[in-house]
Amino acid sequence: MKNIQISPSILSADFSQLGSEIKRLEEGGADMIHVDVMDGHFVPNLTIGPPVIKALRKHSSLKFDVHLMISPVHKYIDAYADAGADIITIHPEATENLENSIKRIKEKNKKVGVSLNPETKIDLIIDLLDQIDLVLIMSVNPGFGGQKFMPEVLDKIKELKKIRERKKLDFDIEIDGGINFDNCKSAIDAGANILVSGTTVFKSNDGDIKKNINLLKLK
């Protein structure tokens, strides 16, 4: 079984203090930093772009887990890779050719993530899983923080885990959307080994990040 990792989403951080917020995450035991990039087109919200990621990069040695909710995504891969992303996660619906986009991310020497929205079928990526480092299962519809967890996506995680074992692959399974102390165990039991959490990490227990991360890891 893979070690459980927590990738806190800076969408829930204090945006006026992002550098120090990332330091707090690092000191609190975060395994990586989840950066949600939204374009107001693919999803109905706007967040941050490459210049902000580049500026934040010097504040942390942790991996930047960059989730691109933008369309068309292919032409922006280089910009986010050059800005300091370590993992670049894209949506199949946001590119004309998923295989080409995966290849481009690899050419930039970055890890490849592919995200599946709640209604997106595994069939879309099943023949590409040997080229993917991480599958991100959305447990909310992407676009806004603070949404309610959708337990029905856990079946998708269980299926991915079976496929991974059957094909002897090694990709990570990440889950993002409404992850909290009530549902983290069910996500881990289903097969997720990376949990993205924003509100729970930053706001619970009076903002005790270390405690919140440990609780999410079931420690």
- Catalytic status, residue 36: yes
Residue 141: in which H helix or E strand, if any? none
Give the C-alpha separation, 135 to 51, whole Å.
Answer: 26
Beta strands across the sheet bearing 5-8: 5-8, 194-197, 172-176, 134-138, 111-116, 87-90, 63-69, 32-38
Contacts of 75 (CB under 8 A, 6+ apart): none
Catalytic residue, chosen from 36, 39, 65, 133, is: 36
The torsion of the CA quartet 8, 11, 17, 19, rounded to 10 degrees, works out to 50
Catalytic residue among 31, 65, 172, 176: 176
- Does 189 qualify as catalytic in the annotation? no
Q: Which helix (H) or strand (E) holds 3?
A: none
Tell me the C-alpha to C-alpha distance, in Å, between residue 117 and each of 12, 53, 150.
Answer: 20, 24, 11
Residues with a known catalytic role? 36, 176
